[in-house]
Amino acid sequence: MSDLGHVLVLAGGLSYEREVSIRSGRRVAEALRAAGVDVETRDTDATLVPAVLADPPDAAFVTLHGGAGEDGAIRSVLELLGVPYVGATPDACHVAFDKPTAKAVVGSWGLHTPDSVALPKETFHDLGASAVLARIVDRLGLPLFVKPSRGGSALGASIVRSAEELPPAMVGCFAYGDTALIEKYVQGVEVAVSVVDLGDGPVALPPVEILPDGGVYDYSARYTAGRTEFFAPARLTEEETEACAAMAVTAHTALGLRDISRTDLIVDASGRPYFLEVNVAPGMTETSLLPMAAEAAGRDLGILCRGLLEIAAQRG
């Protein structure tokens, strides 16, 4: 049994990724119970603060995705309540959750990241959409990848292979956020590298290669069993694997993250990895990448999560 008293798993929330968060929370809670931890799962509604004040947990594991789960807001509330938690601080979340800002930070540390433009909806409309989009195509070339500057699960994201596809891609993107990130699309092997720190510094788990059946790792491909083929560890050379691991650990460090993260990247034909984005609350569902990486490393998910919670509890 664990030395922890009872712990809180936060899941649900009101973001577009609510259902994914519920599945993540369920899996983490089941894994922790199997590892001998007394777990309570709660949504982030009006009952949360009174419940925590009445029975403070030893620590919390945040499995909220998007919105308040990754922008630091719920972590700020946990700090106000005096509840230690697994994961990055609010300040680090603010930086990591905003993709253009995260790209700028890791770029300053020497990591390669695709050329891009961040375009707020107001600027897009005020300057004339067609003129702005034409300049983007001239500047970055085709194909492009369009996604909201915040959020996850590939909601509002799409590949643009022709100039005619760019306007509808922007409209779809703005349905999920006020700023679009338009990147030069890098063709290559899509890889996710999870990083964990159990007290001896951040360590990369084996990279997971992602091969969606339709060629695009969209929401359906992410969360529908059988839609995507995964390879854990990824089918990379030793040099490529080491480069991906180094990139993920560097991104984790550069962004000031803590305990756990997942970096998404592309390895091009020359073997060079490109940073795409980082997740401060990685998915934990049955089709999520961090649990696959943990299994490939021979780590039990429940014991891993218990270790992270014990570290958080020690921080007080």
- 75, 279, 302, 310: the catalytic one is 279
Q: Is 24 a catalytic residue?
A: no
Given 12, 13, 17, 70, the catalytic residue: 17
What percent of the chain is helix, strand and coil (3-state, nearest 5)? 40, 20, 40
Catalytic residue among 58, 190, 264, 310: 264
Catalytic residue among 197, 223, 259, 306: 223
The answer to whether residues 174 and 168 touch, using CB atoms and an 8 Å cutoff, is no
Catalytic residue selected from 259, 277, 288, 310: 277
Q: In what order do the strands lie in the sheet with 85-86?
A: 38-42, 6-10, 60-62, 85-86
Q: Of 262, 302, 307, 310, which is the active-site residue? A: 262
- Please confirm, yes or no, whether 240 is among the known catalytic residues: no
DSSP conformation letters of 267-298: E-TTS-EEEEEEESS---STT-HHHHHHHHTT
Backbone φ and ψ for 54, nearest 5 degrees, come out as -75, -30
- Establish whether 283 is a catalytic residue: yes
Q: Is 279 a catalytic residue?
A: yes
Catalytic residue among 177, 283, 302, 307: 283
**Nearest-angstrom CA–CA distance, 51 and 142:** 52
Is 161 an annotated catalytic residue?
no
Residue 277 falls in the annotated catalytic set? yes
Instruction: Using alpha carbons only, give the angle 29, 33, 38 rounded to the nearest 5 degrees.
Output: 95
The yes-or-no answer on residue 153 being catalytic is yes
Say whether 262 is catalytic. yes
Catalytic residue among 21, 116, 149, 153: 153
Query: Catalytic residue positions?
Result: 17, 153, 223, 262, 264, 277, 279, 283
